[in-house]
Amino acid sequence: MHDGWCCATIGASKGVTVEKIGITAQVPIEVLIAAGYWPVDLGNVFLADDDPGRFVQRAEEDGFPIRSCARTKGIYGVCLELGLKTVIGVEGNCASNTLLLPMLKSQGVRVLSFAYPDQANQLLVQKKLEDLAEQLGTTLHRAESVREELSEARGLALQIDDLTWSEGLVNGWENHKSLLDTSDFSGSHIRYCDEARQLLQMVSQRRPYSGDCVRLAYVGAPALFAWDLYHFLESEGAHVVFNETQRQRAIPNPGQSLAEQYASLTRPYLISHRLRDITAELKARRVDGIIHYNQAFCGRELPAMLLRRTAGMPAITLDGNDEYGLGKRAKVRLRHFLEVVRRLRDSERKISDFLRSERRVER
């Protein structure tokens, strides 16, 4: 669970006790903070809890269908356990919100809404940001000041991400956790900065990953069994060098304004934007294979076939919902996948070495 919630000072909330506000997905947290709130990413709290099943059970006892999205039920349960008075739901982000938000209202929770525009257009995003600021009783001028205050924390997160793939010093789990936490900074951007600096200092003393490691990308929403997955892959000689969704949380292209910043995201907009970002990162990070996670009952996930055709490399799809650990069948499939990836990679290396030697002979 998140602990030590920040009641410190930041932006427009200096000297003011900060009230927590729940968020169901990535939102412009600068506007929330400028209005005197501190965001709580309910999904992150659910994923990080030692016993996430109890949140799901609470939701089902209150009327959520058993065959429905575990993440949505978890968000509901977390919100009630934390006793939050206000939640911002992101329209269009999740079909399950049509049940989640009314259920929260029935429990006396004040539900506000935010929606990204259909297009990644700065003017359209600007209008949405203005509407959110008005709804919360603040201004974008204040929110821009908060943006500047959060820039150091986001910069450290991206530095951790860079060291994951360029230097091979950060493991996949550390990358996942550091990037994911930037959606709300676990309650304190100041503490986040301190912990990020400690991690950067620690990894600077490590030996980089071997060149024989299989370099993987993780595409899709974070899974409930993330801890098991990353540690299992490490034990099998694989290194996750790209966490797609988690990286988006850290705002990899911040631009010069809030509107530009949130127009640069990929997941809220057309699939083509997301695929373009994924393929560019796969190439830059020299990825050998893709782990594609498909969250059950989620309409926002990438179609597996489209991802494979666009990426042009081996990919395995893991389906999940309320699995809290990595099962035996998934481990067998992953071992087989890693063996296939190794063989393909080694074959390509031999062909590349042969072609280089032939060019030297021709000279």
**Contact predicate 4/164, CB 8 Å:** no
The helix (H) or strand (E) run that includes residue 113 is: strand 110-114
Q: Round the average pLDDT of the chain to a whole number and report it.
A: 91
User: Could you tell me which residues are beta bridge partners of residue 316?
Assistant: 291
Per-residue burial over 141-175, b = 16 or more CB atoms within 10 Å of its CB, e = otherwise: ebbbbbbeebeebbebbbbbbebbbeebbbbbbbb
186-207: pLDDT as tens digits:
999 999 999 999 999 999 999 9
Three-state secondary-structure class, residue 142: helix
Q: How many residues can be counted in the chain?
A: 363
- Residue partners of 19: CB distance under 8 A and separation at least 6: 36, 37, 38, 85, 86
Q: Residue 14 pLDDT more than 80?
A: no
CATH 1.10.150.120 holds for 11-138: no
pLDDT confidence bin for 313, thresholds 50/70/90 = very high
- For 207-225, what is the mean pLDDT? 95
Backbone angles phi, psi at 240, to 5 degrees: -80, 115
Q: How are beta strands 214-219 and 289-295 bridged, if at all? A: parallel
For the chain, percent of residues with pLDDT exceeding 70: 89
For the chain, percent of residues with pLDDT exceeding 90: 80
Angle, CA of 179, 184 and 186, to the nearest 5°? 85
80-121: pLDDT as tens digits:
999 999 999 988 766 567 889 999 999 999 999 999 999 999
The whole-number pLDDT of residue 5 equals 37
Q: Residue 173 pLDDT more than 90?
A: yes
Helices 226-235 and 172-180, packing angle to 10 deg? 150
The whole-number pLDDT of residue 9 equals 42
pLDDT confidence bin for 363, thresholds 50/70/90 = low
Amino acid symbol at 180 = L
Pairwise CA distance, residues 177 & 155, whole Å: 15
DSSP states along 27-39: --HHHHHHTTEEE
Whole-prediction pTM value? 0.91
Sheet holding 86-90, edge to edge: 37-41, 19-23, 86-90, 110-114
Which token pair is 25?
Answer: 């997905």
pLDDT confidence bin for 17, thresholds 50/70/90 = low
Pairwise CA distance, residues 43 & 22, whole Å: 10
Pairwise CA distance, residues 53 & 70, whole Å: 9
The whole-number pLDDT of residue 95 equals 59
Domain ranges of the chain: 11-138
Output DSSP code: residue 145: H
Three-state secondary-structure class, residue 64: coil
Pairwise CA distance, residues 36 & 51, whole Å: 31
Closest CA to 283 of 217, 350, 212: 217
User: Could you tell me which residues are beta bridge partners of residue 90?
Assistant: 114
Dihedral angle sign, alpha carbons of residues 44, 47, 53, 54: negative
Which token pair is 47?
Answer: 């994923």
